[in-house]
A and B are shown apart, each in its own frame.
Chain A
Amino acid sequence: MNRNDLEQVRTFLHEYDGPEIRLMEVCGTHTASIAKNGIPALLSPAIHLISGPGCPVCVTVTDYIDRLVSLSRTPGTAVVSFGDLLRVRGSRLSLADARADGADVRMVYAPMQMLDFAAREPDRTFVFAAVGFETTAPVYALTLEEAARRELRNVKLLTSLKTMPEVIRAVVRAGTPDGRGRIDGFLAPGHVCAVTGSNEYQELAEETGLPFVVSGFTGPQLLASIAALVKLQGRGTCLNFYPEVVTGTGNAEAKALCRKYYEPCDASWRGLGSIPRSGLRLREEYRTLDAGSSGLDGDHAARGCECAKVLTGQIMPVECPLFGRICTPQYPNGACMVSQEGSCYNWYISGRTR
């Protein structure tokens, strides 16, 4: 890589004085990396970055957390989860609260670890808190496949699996042309695209008339993608700026595995309500592996929390009256401040103000 090229991109982004442009990243890992690399401070005041509904933990409704809490307190049942979800509160309690109270909650970094628990403790049912997007859905499917091969019958999923295209359409629909929710282009989620392929995003670009750039996760990759979006404004086209990982058609094995285990379903998103065909659920023939995922649509966020508006780009985190005063990473009020990929969390830790 030529340092000069990177410098040119930085200068372009810093000195840009064209029309105000609002770009949304729809991947929580992008949100975290943008904060870590201090990218907002490198951009001209005319370029705004908005975190979309791309942090699976942040978009999960309270009914789902409540169901996990109640499963974890059921005798003979353990809930297995990634760390990020543990501190997110449902209508009253989080999984961490339940665990402190004696419930069986186990934290892992990979769903596959649950299979060793299940083999060691055959009399206990293990329920994985299967949240995530297209990237993680095949990992859960592979875990079920592996469980079947190892003849483990005490393994289930509580699914809250989401897919990107429909929620992106919903975000575009929600924004008025001159209003605050307006989005002029999207950083497309690099690892989601590794599974789905970038062609889906070309379709979205043509349909919405907005540019999409599939981006990697390093500082230079993100700057390059943002520069491309600025230059592409007004054009409905998609560029793949992460070609070492993403192809047009994606990962055929992962897609086949997802088709085998899941079917599209309506899904409830914090801040956006129920969106048709924006989720995945286990197919009828695998429903015995489901721990009661359907109908968990109610969302009762903490009082005063503006997560819903933050997640759709209607307000910036600093505009929430609780931000930094009552709501901090130590004492989070909403999911966006709990998750390390949350918009509020990342604004707080990086001291971002615009």
Chain B
Amino acid sequence: MCVAYPGTVLAVKDRTALIDFSGTRVEALTGLVRTKPGDRVLVHAGCVLQVLPPEEADEMQSLFDEIASLSEEDMKETAG
């Protein structure tokens, strides 16, 4: 039930924002985070939960790097 969907803010009103989810437009409450038009956001149960970094940011790469570094630590531990 903690499912959340990424969308893009089209317009911001007083306490709500109009969000585009690949063509479907939905109004969501903005009381939990500040947003502006153009922001990529995560929406949960009709409420903006978080502003996301721009899509180009490759978060996965740093995760894979981190996994690789864990192995090195493991090896150091075995060696030591």
CB-based contact B61/A139 at 8 Å: no
Chain B 49-79 near chain A by CB (<8 Å), digits 1 or 0: 1101100011111111011101100100000
Stretch of A199-207, A240-248, A278-286, A303-311 at the chain-chain interface: A240-248
Select which of A28, A112, A341 is within 8 A of B47 by beta carbon.
A112
**Least CB distance, B44 to chain A, in whole angstroms:** 6
A136 touches B15 (CB 8 A): no
Contact residue range for chain A? 35 or more
Are the C-beta atoms of A239 and B66 separated by less than 8 Å?
Answer: yes
The answer, yes or no, to whether A61 is at the interface (CB within 8 Å) is: no
Does A221 belong to the interface (CB within 8 Å)?
yes
Q: How many residues of B contact A (CB 8 A)?
A: 33
| Contacting residue for A231 out of B44, B50, B64, B74, CB 8 A | B74
The answer on a CB contact under 8 Å between B67 and A253 is no
Complex CA gap A113/B52 in Å reads: 25
Q: Which residues of B contact A149 (CB under 8 A)?
A: 15
Contact B58 A110 (CB under 8 A): no
Contacts known (A231-B71, A251-B49, A254-B32); A191 close to B66, Cβ less than 8 A: no
Whether B17 sits at the interface, judged by CB under 8 Å, is: no
Q: Are B3 and A29 in contact (CB under 8 A)?
A: yes
The residues of A that contact B66 with a CB separation of less than 8 Å are 228, 239, 241
Q: Let me know if A135 and B42 touch, CB within 8 A.
A: no
User: Is B9 part of the binding interface, using a Cβ–Cβ cutoff of 8 Å?
Assistant: no
Known contacts A111-B45, A244-B59, A257-B32: does B50 contact A5 (CB below 8 Å)? Answer: no
What is the bound-complex CA distance between A191 and B42, given in angstroms?
10
**A132/B1 in contact, CB under 8 A:** yes
Contact B64 A6 (CB under 8 A): yes
Give B49's nearest chain A residue, CB to CB. A194
The answer to whether A253 and B46 touch (CB under 8 A), given A131-B1, A146-B15, A239-B66, is no
A228 touching B2, Cβ below 8 Å: no
Chain A residues positioned under 8 Å from B29 (CB to CB)? 112, 139, 142-143, 146
Interface hits, B5-48 → A, CB 8 Å: 15, 28-29, 31-33, 42, 44-47
Name the CB-closest residue of A to B73: A231
> Closest CB of chain A to B3's CB: distance in Å?
5
**Which residues of chain A are within 8 angstroms of B3 by Cβ–Cβ distance?**
29, 32, 191
Interface string of A128-158 (1 = CB under 8 A from B): 0001110110110011011001000000000
A56 at the interface (CB under 8 A from B): yes
Complex contact B53–A253 (CB within 8 A): no
Q: Could you tell me which residues of chain A, from 1 to 15, have a CB within 8 Å of some CB in chain B?
A: 1-2, 5-6, 8-9
- B64 smallest CB distance to A (angstroms): 4
CB distance from A341 to the nearest CB of B (A): 6
Complexed CA–CA distance, A8 and B31 (Å): 42
Q: Is A168 an interface residue (CB 8 A)?
A: no
- CB-CB under 8 A from A2, the residues of chain B are 61, 64
State which of B32, B57, B64 has its C-beta within 8 Å of the C-beta of A224: B64
Contact, CB under 8 Å: B42 / A245: yes
Q: When the two chains form their complex, are residues A28 and B46 in contact, meaning their CB atoms are under 8 A apart? A: no
Residues in chain A within 8 A of chain B (CB atoms): 1-2, 5-6, 8-9, 27-29, 32, 55-57, 82, 84, 109-113, 131-133, 135-136, 138-139, 142-143, 145-146, 149, 189-192, 194-195, 220-221, 224, 227-228, 231-232, 239, 241, 243-245, 251, 253-254, 257, 341
Instruction: Write 28 A-B pairs (CB below 8 A) sorted by A numbering.
Output: A2-B61, A2-B64, A5-B64, A5-B68, A29-B2, A84-B1, A110-B47, A111-B46, A112-B46, A132-B1, A132-B2, A135-B1, A138-B47, A142-B29, A142-B31, A142-B32, A146-B15, A149-B15, A195-B49, A221-B60, A224-B63, A224-B64, A228-B67, A241-B63, A244-B59, A253-B31, A253-B32, A253-B33
14 further A-B contacts with Cβ under 8 Å, apart from A1-B64, A189-B2, A231-B74, are: A27-B2, A84-B1, A110-B47, A132-B1, A135-B1, A135-B4, A139-B29, A194-B4, A244-B52, A244-B53, A245-B49, A245-B50, A254-B32, A254-B49
